[in-house]
Structure 1
Amino acid sequence: SEEDILMMTAEAIDAAKSHGTETIGVNAEDASRTDADFLLRFASVAKEHGADRLRYCDTLGYDNPFTIYEIAKMLAKEVGIPIEVHCHGDLGMAVANSVAGAMGIIDEGQDAPS
C-alpha cells in the first residue's frame, strides 16, 4: 500500500542515517506513472527523514517532455531538496525528457544535477 511504501522509505533513510551515511539520494521508481499527490507525499517523507536529494525516475520510458517538465517543476518548488531526473528511451524520448525535466527544475530556481 502507499502507507507501507512511505513507512519503508522512512525506515530505510533512518537506518542509513543511523549507520553514518553522509548523503542520501532517494529514487522515486516508476515516478512517471505515479499519482502526483502520492509522489509529493513520498518526496516529503524522504526529506523529513533526512534525504538530501530526490531522483524522479521514468523507469519505463513512459513520460513525455510536457508532463515531466511540469512534475519536475512542481517537485522542485514543493519539496525543498535537489531534484534529479533519470529517463529511459523506450519511446525514443530520453534526451527530450531529460532536457524538459531539467528545465522544469531550473525554471523553479534550482540547479539541475545530472
Structure 2
Amino acid sequence: MRLALHPSLTALTSPHAVVSLWAAHQEDGAVPAVNPSVPENAWVLRSDRSVRVLSMSLGDCRFVGALQTGATLGAATAMAADPGDGTDAGFDLTRCLAVLLREQVVTGITIATRT
C-alpha cells in the first residue's frame, strides 16, 4: 500500500530550533527566549491561505520523506522506526497517521494487487 501526500507538505529536520523560532515570531509582543541550538523537526504545509508548522519527531519526518519518494507504507514505517542513529526509537505510526489525516494531507491510497 502506498499513500500519496499533498505536494505542499514538506518534512524539515534541523539541528536548530526552527519550530520554536517560527512560533516565537508569529505573535505580537515579547519574543520568548529560545535556545537556537536545540534540534527540532517539523512538517510544513499549506492550509487554505496560511502556512502551518507542526512540531514532529525525526521518525515522522523520515516517514513522510519515504512516502514522498514512493516507498510503501511498510517500508516507510521501517525507515521511520529505525533508530540507527539512536535518535527516534519511539516512532508512533498510529499518531503519525492521525496527524496526516487530521491535517488532510493524504490525497490518495494505492493498494497493489498481485497478478
- Whether these two folds match at TM > 0.5 is no
The TM-score with structure 2 as length reference comes to 0.30
Q: What's the TM-score once normalised by structure 1's chain length?
A: 0.30
* Greater RCO, 1 or 2 (C-alpha within 8 Å, sep 6+): 2
Higher helix share: 1
Higher strand share: 2
